[in-house]
Structure 1
Amino acid sequence: MKKLLIILCMLISTMLMAQEEEKREYTKLKVYLDCNFCDMSYLIQEMSYINFARDPKDADVYVIVRTQQTGSGGTSYQLEYTGQNSYEHISNQFSFTTLATNTQDEIRKELKVAIEMGLSTYWIQLGQREYKERQQKEAGEIVEEKPTEEDSKDPWNNWVFQVGASGSMSGQKTSESSRYSFNFSSKQVTDKHKFYLSARHNSNRSEYSFGEFKEVSKTKSTTLDVSEAISISDHWSVGAFANLEMSDFANYDLSLSIKPAIEYSFFPYKVSNQKQLTLSYRVGGLYNDYQILTVFNETTEYLWEHSLNLGASVRQKWGDLSGEVEYKSILDDSSLYSFNFSLHTSIRLFKGFSLNVSGNYEITRNQINLAARSVDINDIILQRNQVQSNYNFYTSVGISYSFGSMFNTVVNPRFGF
């Protein structure tokens, strides 16, 4: 009888412990997601079993999401996981690709699954694997079957085409304007080569009237760009670039250039989504047929032009940085040249504080297309003709700082704020 009571007490104690375990709140992973294009409201709401940290230092896992465009117009996502604190010995990577036809809802669902897959190692470490599987089962999530080899065949052979048109009209008592444009593009991207063709036509008409003053401005432009790049090795590529342009603003009846090119990547191309440093050189012929006699007393001319370009980009835990320097000049007259400098960076300086800088500055000494006739004030205001300028620039500097609750998994969409 005594043994029976002991056994009965043990059973009751085990049942009570099981109930307490069922009620216990599970420890959540603290994750910092470095992704400035992710739908965070959706992820926070759908992944309530994660604490999204506001600062990287407070996280157990640092997740950075990088993207690159695929040849089909889709996007390749690369997710890199770095464990911190007690998880610093664990690192992981996961990648997936979306199609150009995927909706934003489909993309964010795939991104959610990818984040979960990459965090699985950390969940196992935390002892949450069984809990996560139960959550998925209760939610009724269905795992989609992988496409068969027959389904994955591409009848378009990696070709992607796009056609577009747009138009607009606006006006008031003293002015009216209308614009329309057409565009077409096609591309084929494989591991061995990349081909791209783009064509666009724009037409603008503006009419201004005030009392006896009346002015009508009409401009149109047509451009055609063809590019081809061929992979040689992990660091070398060759290519060719052709451009055709007809523009009232730039004084071109016809401008045509064809330039072979070579590029060297200091880092292997396969890590370009993390860091990239390239040096490229282009050289080729240039033919210009002008609408109006130029300041160099030319109506038609053949020239040789070359350019040297140094570009770099990096995206790491501290932020991202990209920049480019390009020198371009006429081969037989080095006084006709241009320098272009561009920079963009977003740097996380300390907790919640970031510095954002963007800028572009171009020195122009190669405006060989400028019309010889004088340009009046109406031409400048209405931008009917290009005028001489030794430089142009753009710059933007900003800071951002966030503070408040470190973790918050609540989503409340009321009133849209």
Structure 2
Amino acid sequence: MKRILVNNKLLQKVTQLTSILVFVGCISPLTAQDGVSKKKYEMLNVYLDCSDCYEDYLRSEINFVNFVRNPSDASIHLLITDAGTASGGEEYTLKFIGKDSLQAQTDTLFYTSAKSDSDNEERAGLLRYVNLGLFPYLKNSSLINHFDLSFSPPDNESQQKNHDKWNNWVFETDVEVDYDAEEREQSYDIAWDLDATRVTPKWKIDLQLDYDIEKEKFKFDDKRDIISTSTSKSFTGFAAKSLGEHWSAGLTSRVASSSYNNIKLEAGASPTLEYNIFPYREYSRRELRIQYRVTPSFQQYRDTTIFNKKKERLLEQELEALFEITETWGSIDASLQGSHYMHDVSKNRLEFESSVEFRVYRGLSVDFGFEYSLINDQLSLSKQDLTEEEIILRQRALATDYSMSATIGVSYTFGSIYNNIVNPRMD
């Protein structure tokens, strides 16, 4: 009897071991097949590099690639830049940059939205172009078997050249009224502008009329009220003519008044010549422009200036360099501008502005901005002493030798490399 019990225990162990081996034998092929399947249908990693390009919408609608958080994890770097068009729409430049095994595949697409497009229409059009640009990278992937192509031929009417009854002119007007109130403070701001533009491959014309009035009222315990009022009005006309791939010529005229700057009437015109080191067609990625302008003007002041002038005629010359570049490692935007009055070169100004965004390492980026001006040309400063209220409320410009501002920011992200999921709850 004891021997039979021993044999039964041995039989149970053999049976358990056999079951485990059978289970492992069954699951191993499945695991291997699953691994083959994942490898077979492995999706490409894409880094979406853009600002204000409906990122969440694109990531939620495109489900045949993996979006990653760092450029180093991507096999495709998608750089999207945009610029306003003459008609008020947006032109998006989509640069598809292949990396690693896809390094030889680089392509650029352009998508232009209309001024009349809603946000939904604009983002749907951008999505279509992103899909079209990503499709060629799937030619060696089995995922290509899951795509269907369709074509809707344009009708005869849409193929005909459209007649523009406005001759490329676009008009826009804006009115904005802001009102704020507290127990001891009230303020309102009324701003109105009218803009007319016409842009063709050879010409760029912009006419703009602006009017702004701002009023603030403060109440104190001693029943004293302080009222601050500032107004500005201006008309600016600008026209530029293309002179080839690198040269342009333009003229800017301006008529304006400003209580802050002690200007009762300012009228002047600025002939300008510009040279771009890079061809203008590369504007969305890089440009280095050098501008030279001369501005004769007439100035009439509200109060007598610190130079005992009530009005005067001036001649100013200015040289400016502007540099912009957008690449996969970040972007740089900088300008350097110098000017002086011809009757006295000591009345001059030098201004430098820059902003830089730089990806230092995986997940680590640094951005900073810097502005600095050397100011020796405040010819319109009022001779009258400013009251405390005018200084505190910034009703009048103050004398200064310089102005400066600086910002710096560092960001570091780590964790999952993927950036596919969009969850709008409680936003």
Relative to the length of structure 1, the TM-score reads 0.89
- CA shift at 1:148, angstroms? 1.2
- CA shift at 1:248, angstroms? 1.1
Code of the residue aligned with 2:420 in structure 1: it is T
Separation in 2, partners of 1:58, 1:151: 46
Alignment of 1:75-154 (within 5 A): 75-133=90-148, 145=154, 148-150=158-160, 152-154=162-164
The reply to whether residue 287 of structure 1 matches residue 298 of structure 2 is yes
**Structure 2 gaps, min length 5:** 1-32
- Tell me the secondary structure at the aligned position of residue 380 of structure 2: coil
1:336 to 326, 339, 347: 347
Aligned to 2:426: 415
- CA shift at 1:159, angstroms? 0.9
Alignment of 1:361-400 (within 5 A): 361-400=372-411
Aligned to 1:50: 65
1:59 to 74, 84, 90: 74
Aligned to 2:230: 219
Deviates more, 1:168-177 or 1:278-287: 168-177
Separation in 2, partners of 1:190, 1:95: 18
Separation in 1, partners of 2:393, 2:102: 62
The reply to whether residue 205 of structure 1 matches residue 181 of structure 2 is no
- CA shift at 1:154, angstroms? 2.4
1:269 to 269, 280, 283: 280
Cα deviation 1:66-106 (Å, max 9, x = unaligned): 22221111111111112112212222221111112222222
- CA shift at 1:409, angstroms? 2.5
Cα deviation 1:122-176 (Å, max 9, x = unaligned): 111224322122xx89xxxx95847713474322211111111111222223222
Cα deviation 1:305-337 (Å, max 9, x = unaligned): 111001100001100101000001101210101
The reply to whether residue 235 of structure 1 matches residue 246 of structure 2 is yes
* Residues 330, 357 of structure 2: 8 Å contact kept: yes
Separation in 2, partners of 1:387, 1:55: 47
2:194 to 184, 193, 200: 184
Code of the residue aligned with 1:193 in structure 2: it is W
- Tell me the secondary structure at the aligned position of residue 128 of structure 1: helix
Separation in 2, partners of 1:199, 1:294: 27
Code of the residue aligned with 1:204 in structure 2: it is E
Aligned to 2:177: 167
* Residues 68, 420 of structure 2: 8 Å contact kept: no
Separation in 2, partners of 1:178, 1:216: 12
Aligned to 1:251: 262
1:35 to 46, 50, 55: 50
Separation in 2, partners of 1:46, 1:88: 26
Aligned to 2:370: 359
* Residues 69, 419 of structure 2: 8 Å contact kept: no
- CA shift at 1:59, angstroms? 1.3
Code of the residue aligned with 2:260 in structure 1: it is F
Aligned to 2:17: none
Relative to the length of structure 2, the TM-score reads 0.87
Separation in 2, partners of 1:82, 1:40: 18
Separation in 1, partners of 2:153, 2:209: 39
Separation in 2, partners of 1:81, 1:156: 36
- Tell me the secondary structure at the aligned position of residue 426 of structure 2: helix
Separation in 2, partners of 1:191, 1:264: 17
* Residues 316, 341 of structure 2: 8 Å contact kept: yes
The reply to whether residue 296 of structure 1 matches residue 311 of structure 2 is no
* Residues 51, 81 of structure 2: 8 Å contact kept: no
Code of the residue aligned with 2:357 in structure 1: it is S
- Tell me the secondary structure at the aligned position of residue 60 of structure 2: helix
Separation in 2, partners of 1:93, 1:275: 15
- Tell me the secondary structure at the aligned position of residue 406 of structure 1: coil
Separation in 2, partners of 1:235, 1:68: 19
Cα deviation 1:23-48 (Å, max 9, x = unaligned): 95522111111112222222222111
Cα deviation 1:6-39 (Å, max 9, x = unaligned): xxxxxxxxxxxxxx99x95522111111112222
Code of the residue aligned with 2:390 in structure 1: it is D
Using a 3 Å threshold, how does the CA distance of structure 1 residues 143 and 149 change in structure 2: closer, same or farther? closer
Aligned to 1:71: 86
- Tell me the secondary structure at the aligned position of residue 369 of structure 1: coil
- Tell me the secondary structure at the aligned position of residue 270 of structure 1: helix
Code of the residue aligned with 1:99 in structure 2: it is A
Deviates more, 1:245-254 or 1:400-409: 400-409
Aligned to 1:13: none
The reply to whether residue 345 of structure 1 matches residue 345 of structure 2 is no
Separation in 1, partners of 2:423, 2:283: 38
**Structure 1 gaps, min length 5:** 1-19
2:316 to 284, 305, 313: 305
Separation in 2, partners of 1:217, 1:82: 55
Separation in 1, partners of 2:67, 2:283: 28
Q: CA RMSD in A?
A: 2.0
Aligned to 1:9: none
Separation in 2, partners of 1:383, 1:54: 44
